[in-house]
Amino acid sequence: ISLTLTTAALTLAAGTVSANCDPGEVVAKFSHVTGGTTHPKVVAANSLAERVNKEMNGKLCIEVFPNSTLFGDSKELEALLLGDVQLLAPSLSKFGSYSEKYGVFDLPFIFKDMDAAIRFTQSQAGKGLLNEMKDSVGFVGLGYWMSGMKYFSAKKPLIVPSDAEGMKFRVQTSDVAKKMISAMGASPQAMSFSEVYGALQTGVVDGQENTWSNIYTKKFYEVQDSVTETNHQLLAYLFMTSSEFLEGLDDDVRAQFVQIADEVTQAANLSVKAAEAANRENILKAGGKINVLTPAQREEWVSTMKPVWSEFERDIGKQLIESAAKA
Ligand code: LMR
């Protein structure tokens, strides 16, 4: 029995090392939940792997697992702590059980656009948040990757917030998102990203909120009436690793990796707007419908959702909210 087990364990270990990684190289697994070829996170993660695997050949090797194939939303942070994965880029809306502060990124209408969000991440307050969970949990932020602004989709057209009354919306595990949906007179249901398409298709939920890139690459438009250009929230990622992994690298390997990680982050944030615009077009080309709001209709969304800010002043901190809003 013990021989069989050992062989099975060896096979399993060998199976996790891709053909691109040579014996002796440190292997870093990068797990994420998005898919397709045009998604900003897919592009950034693949570009990181390409650069590291070429420029650091023999020293470090990155294997990317997209589409929740290695770990989904509910397991990936725990897996990082256990050392079963070394690199992640979860949405900033998914850290509620580790830190309340990231809720600032979720406040509806706090950022006018992605440029405002990038300005905030580059401010002292934003940079400070990058390693907010380092001492307490051992999560190390390598950079913020922008994904896009968010839009609502639903089984019927949503033109003003009251159109959503009584409907059920999938949200990420974010208290801010839950309150925001309740403010619309609808009910929030937290759910892993990998389950959203099926839940929309079977009517477990009636709608969801996401970026053009997620709505296109996960084909949500196929199982929804239309998408409304609300621009109500930001979706951004914490590109991250664990202290244990980073500190375990040799000094020169760590320095080169961090340098490449920085450059990939900057390049990713420069190309994200174009990726979003292209995926908006892709939705239309594929037959999806987009509702564009008049300024008066948009104002209704703002006045319905913005009051939730005050409920998070204590958890997030008034000063942090003010710095983000100022950006
Ligand atoms: C979601 O769960 O809707 C997103 O955070 C998925 C992602 O990583 O873009």
Average pLDDT over residues 10-14: 37
pLDDT of residue 96: 93
Residues 310-327: tens digit of each pLDDT: 999 999 999 999 999 999
pLDDT of residue 77: 97
- CA dist 327 and 325 (Å) reads 5
Is the CB of 217 within 6 Å of ligand 1?
no
pLDDT of residue 98: 95
8 has pLDDT over 80: no
pLDDT of residue 253: 98
pLDDT of residue 138: 97
Is the CB of 214 within 6 Å of ligand 1?
yes
Residues 130-166: tens digit of each pLDDT: 999 999 999 999 999 999 999 999 999 999 999 999 9
79 has pLDDT over 60: yes
Query: Residue 18 — very low, low, confident or very high, per pLDDT cuts 50/70/90?
Result: low
Residues 6 or more apart whose CB falls under 8 angstroms from that of 202 comprise none
The beta-strand segments (E) located in 104-194 are 139-149, 151-154, 168-171, 187-190
Is the CB of 91 within 6 Å of ligand 1?
yes
Q: What percent of the chain has pLDDT over 70?
A: 94
pLDDT of residue 20: 76
Q: Which of 64, 91, 147, 224 is the best mutation target for the ligand 1 pocket, counting ligand atoms within 8 Å of the beta carbon and taking the most?
A: 91
Tell how far CA 152 is from the center of its chain: 16
| 228 CA from centroid of ligand 1 (Å) | 18
Nearest CA to ligand 1 atom 2: 193
- CA dist 237 and 253 (Å) reads 24
111 has pLDDT over 70: yes
Is the CB of 172 within 6 Å of ligand 1?
yes
Residues 192-228: tens digit of each pLDDT: 999 999 999 999 999 999 999 999 999 999 999 999 9
Is the CB of 145 within 6 Å of ligand 1?
no
> At 78, is the secondary structure helix, strand, or coil?
helix
9 has pLDDT over 70: no
Atom index in ligand 1 nearest the CA of residue 39 equals: 9
Q: Which of 209, 217, 235, 272 is the best mutation target for the ligand 1 pocket, counting ligand atoms within 8 Å of the beta carbon and taking the most?
A: 235
ipTM: 0.98
- CA dist 145 and 105 (Å) reads 13
221 backbone dihedrals φ, ψ, rounded to 5°: -60, -25
Query: Residue 14 — very low, low, confident or very high, per pLDDT cuts 50/70/90?
Result: very low
The beta-strand segments (E) located in the chain are 26-31, 60-65, 87-88, 139-149, 151-154, 168-171, 187-190, 207-210, 226-228, 234-242, 290-291
Largest alpha-carbon pair distance within the chain?
A: 71
Atom index in ligand 1 nearest the CA of residue 214 equals: 9
Is residue 205 a contact partner of residue 126, using CB atoms and an 8 Å limit? no
Nearest CA to ligand 1 atom 5: 91
Average pLDDT over residues 227-233: 97
Query: Residue 72 — very low, low, confident or very high, per pLDDT cuts 50/70/90?
Result: very high
> At 59, is the secondary structure helix, strand, or coil?
coil
4 has pLDDT over 90: no
Is the CB of 64 within 6 Å of ligand 1?
no
pLDDT of residue 5: 40
| 23 CA from centroid of ligand 1 (Å) | 34
Average pLDDT over residues 172-195: 98
| 288 CA from centroid of ligand 1 (Å) | 20
87 has pLDDT over 80: yes
Give first-to-last CA distance, the chain, whole Å: 62
Atom index in ligand 1 nearest the CA of residue 192 equals: 2
